[in-house]
Amino acid sequence: MTDVLAPCAGRLLPIAETPDPVFSAEMVGPGVAIDPAPGETTVVAPIAGKVVAMHPHAFVVLGGDGVGVLVHLGIDTVQLDGDGFTLLAAEGDEVLAGSPIVSWDPASVAARGFSPICPVIALDATDDLLADRFTAGAVDVGDPLFSWN
């Protein structure tokens, strides 16, 4: 079982409340969303593993047990072409849960007209494989979000 931890602090939301139909309908996979706290934020790895995809606005960490977790920083933020994001890790890096990956300011992204909501997705999973999924309330970095069987 893999425990997926909060990559940033904020307010936890059910994935269905993500303002993007691909994420809210769990087309990419089940998960949760975080409405991040405003201000400069360092987003961390939600699991230990290898960074297999790295973009300024999103990254995937693949755990040793073959589970992949996508963290997407904001909605449609790919349109920012990396502006406002600072990479702290690179594709191919081995990371521990809690390792710094990207820094950004969700408030500045929101000021530019983009939602700062951060989906945290269990890739290629089905909803029945997730246990102990939390979907409401405040979370701090490193708090448990869900377990993946």
Output the pLDDT for position 100.
98
Looking at the DSSP assignment, which residues form a beta bridge with residue 142? none
* Tally of CA atoms within 13 A in the half-sphere of 6 that contains its CB: 25
Tokens found for residue 71: 């963290």
| 147 assigned to some structural domain | no
**What's the structural domain count of the chain?**
1
Whole-number pLDDT of residue 131: 72
What global pTM score does this model have?
0.94
Q: Pick the closest to residue 39 from 88, 108, 137, 114 (CA basis).
A: 108
- What pLDDT, in 10s, does the model give residues 33-44? 999 998 999 999
Residue 125: inside a domain: yes
Say whether 111 sits in a helix, a strand or coil.
helix
Query: Domain of 37: which CATH number?
Result: 2.70.70.10
Residues spanned by the domain of 50? 2-141
> Does 57 qualify as catalytic in the annotation?
no
Task: Name every residue whose Cβ is closer than 8 Å to that of residue 22 and which is 6 or more positions away in sequence.
Answer: 28
From 72, 74, 89, 114, active-site residue: 72
Does 149 fall in a domain? no
- Residue 83 contacts residue 112 (beta carbons within 8 Å): no
The model's pLDDT over 79-136, given as tens digits with 9 standing for 90+, comes to: 999 899 999 999 999 999 999 999 999 999 999 999 999 999 999 877 777 777 777 8
